[in-house]
Structure 1
Amino acid sequence: MKNLLMLYIVFSSSFCFAQDSTYVRKMVNTLTSKTFWGRGYTKEGMAKAADFISSEYKRLGLSPVGENYKQTFNYPVNTFPGKMLVEINRKKLVPGKDFIVNNESPSLKKNVKLDKIDSANYTGGQDLQLILKDKLTWSVASEVSGVTKIEINKKTFTEIPKTINVAIESKFINSFKASNICGIVKGTKYPDSILMITAHYDHLGGMGADTYFPGANDNAAGVATLLSLAQYYAANPQPCSVGFICFAGEEAGLIGSKYFVENPLVSLSKIKLLINLDLVGTGESGMTVVNASVYPKAFAVLNKINAEQKLISKINSRGKAANSDHYFFTEKGVPAFFMYTQGGITAYHDTFDKPDTLPLTAYQNLFKLIVSFNKKIME
């Protein structure tokens, strides 16, 4: 009977985490779908994602921070909602695969011969540049330059560029509306003491009417992991409160997290520790913790738990870095770790960061590590 009971406990635990994995995979697939169009600046992608995450907070049982889950702010951004035609040597190229338009580019319609500058750079006049690249990597711009720059993938277009036909539509938005999504599970004993878990939900959006950037690893995986932790803590309230923030505007320069720090919905002094999740969809080569050397005692606790439970293959220590949404909290004296996994797929800021190639290798063990670590921090 005792052996049967132990077997039941082990099976139940495994089943619980299997369910969590299913939920996380579902969230990644949902957030990277065409409905949310890269969670960016065209086709209302970011707004739709914000509404979805808010509804998921409510469904899971999180309380809003303030009057509702949304903290709204505005910032400038250059967008590409319409025409996206590029023909080189009369051959039509595929957006995202064969070329990208530099994010600061203005609209342009032009059909001209190209002049060679060097082996990688060509010009079609003062307002048009062509650049040959080994990898196409896109981003977000908050201003517009005077030159339209087209980056061509050398791996898919191998000819020498001689002529170019361009019809590109960009639209600069002075005051794009975005929202941080904030929820909390109140602590049972110390509700004014908060452990904060964060992840940015925005990505690059779309380039033209037919191409979008799914952002599976960056950062649907982080949001999905955050939501799975929210699901757990909503069902298992802790002595301290556990807060959750999905930031907007990270890809445009950590804008959402900066806004929250400057306009906090909870006192920053009440945050015991912040864990920021970004790029956590792999894990074959372990993980890295930014600010590990800034908070060595907390990092030692994390490493001890990991060694005892044999979870992540390797945890690398890294110092202070302004590379994700933890940064402005650190600058205000809030203890913060930024965790990201390593290995596996190399897709980043391109159209190949897709859910079907995202392994979620370390998800279950990362989940266990964070829960065990938080428990220790709350003691």
Structure 2
Amino acid sequence: MKRFVLIFILFFSLNCFAQDSTYTRKIINILTSKNFWGRGYTKNGMSKAADYLSAEYKKLGLTTFNGHYKQHFNFPVNTFPGKMMVELNGKKLIPGKDFIVNNESKGLKTNANLEKIDSLNFQGSPNLQVVLKDKLTWSVATEVADYTIIQVNRKNFTQTPKNINVEIENKFVADFDASNVCGYVKGTKYTDSILIITAHYDHLGGMGSETYFPGANDNAAGVATLLSLAKYYAIHPQTYSIGFICFAGEEAGLLGSKYFTENPLITLNRIKFLINLDLVGTGESGMTVVNASVYPKAFAMLNKINNEYKYISKINSRGKAANSDHYFFTEKGVPAFFIYTQGGPSAYHDIFDKPETLPLTEYNDLFKLIIGFNKKLME
């Protein structure tokens, strides 16, 4: 009978994790949908995502820090809401696939002959340049330059560029409104002690009126994992409080997390540890922990749990790096790890980072590893 009970508990536990995996996939599909337009700066993409996450926090029963799930802030950003047309040698190029415009570029309408600078660079005018690239990756700029640079995928365009016809619209927004989305599950014993899970929900948005960047691995996967953990902890409150923060403005320079650390909704010394999740949708080649060498005891604890239960095939140690939202917390003295997985699809900051190609290889194991690590931190 005892053996039967143990088998039942094990089956029920595994089924819960499977259900969480289904929930995670659902969240990723929603956040990467056309409706959210890359969770960026045009078509209200980021605002819609913040509303959705706030509603999900409420549905899960998370408590607000200050009466609201949203923490508003603003920053400047260069956007491309309208025309996005490039013809090279009379051939119309496809935005995102055949070309991208540099994120800091100004709008431009011109038809110009191109002068070869070298094998990869071509000049159309003092303020127009064409660059041939093997891979097109986009980003976010908080200012506008006095030039326009167009990157062309040379795998899709094998001719020598001689003439270009361009019509690109940009719009500089001096005070783009964004929101961090914050909530927590109250601890059952040490309510003033808190563990924090973070992930940025913003991505690159859209380039023109017809092309957007889904951002499945970067970082819908991290947000979906965060929500799955929130769902778990809402059902299973811990002795410590567990907080959840979805940051905006990460792609524009870690702006949401910087704002939070400068305007904290809780006293930062209450945070006993923070785990930041970014790019966690793969795992075939293991995972990496940024700040592992900064907090060796915590990293040893994480490895001990992983080795005992054989969750992740390999955990790589990395030192301090200002490459995601953990950074400004550690600068303020908050111990933090930034976790990202490796292997699988190589899509990154491009239109091919889609949910249908995201394997979530190590989702269940990462989920259990984080729960086990948090449990040890509370002992």
- Matched AA of 2:311: L
Deviation at 1:2, TM superposition (A): 4.3
- Matched AA of 1:142: T
**Are 1:187 and 2:204 matched, yes or no?**
no
Name the structure 1 match of 2:317: 317
- Matched AA of 1:82: G
Identity value in percent? 74
Deviation at 1:13, TM superposition (A): 1.8
SS across alignment from 2:218: helix
User: Per-residue displacement from partner, 1:117-166 (whole Å, max 9, x unpaired)?
Assistant: 00000011111100000000100000011111000001111111111000
**Are 1:153 and 2:149 matched, yes or no?**
no
**Are 1:9 and 2:6 matched, yes or no?**
no
- Matched AA of 2:337: F
1:17-36 equivalences in 2 (<5 Å) = 17-36=17-36
User: Per-residue displacement from partner, 1:71-100 (whole Å, max 9, x unpaired)?
Assistant: 000000000000000000111000000000
Name the structure 2 match of 1:278: 278
Name the structure 1 match of 2:117: 117
Name the structure 2 match of 1:208: 208
User: Per-residue displacement from partner, 1:275-325 (whole Å, max 9, x unpaired)?
Assistant: 000000000000000000000001100000000011000001100000000
Pairs aligned (count):
379
- Matched AA of 1:226: L
Name the structure 1 match of 2:226: 226
RMSD (CA atoms): 0.7
SS across alignment from 2:125: coil
- Matched AA of 1:12: F
Residue segments in structure 2 that go unaligned for 5+ positions in a row: none
User: Per-residue displacement from partner, 1:337-376 (whole Å, max 9, x unpaired)?
Assistant: 0000001111000000000000000100000000000000
Deviation at 1:198, TM superposition (A): 0.2
- Matched AA of 1:224: A
User: Per-residue displacement from partner, 1:237-273 (whole Å, max 9, x unpaired)?
Assistant: 0000000000000000000000000000000000000
Alpha-carbon distance between aligned partners in 1 of 2:134 and 2:294, rounded to the nearest angstrom: 36
Alpha-carbon distance between aligned partners in 1 of 2:72 and 2:177, rounded to the nearest angstrom: 7
Query: Structure 1 residues 22-31 or 8-17, which shifts more?
Result: 8-17
Alpha-carbon distance between aligned partners in 2 of 1:325 and 1:13, rounded to the nearest angstrom: 31
Name the structure 1 match of 2:329: 329
Deviation at 1:3, TM superposition (A): 4.4
Name the structure 2 match of 1:302: 302
- Matched AA of 1:301: M
Deviation at 1:12, TM superposition (A): 1.4
Alpha-carbon distance between aligned partners in 2 of 1:9 and 1:364, rounded to the nearest angstrom: 17
Tell me the TM-score normalized by structure 2: 0.99
Alpha-carbon distance between aligned partners in 2 of 1:364 and 1:133, rounded to the nearest angstrom: 37
User: Per-residue displacement from partner, 1:152-182 (whole Å, max 9, x unpaired)?
Assistant: 0011111111110000000000000000000
SS across alignment from 2:351: coil
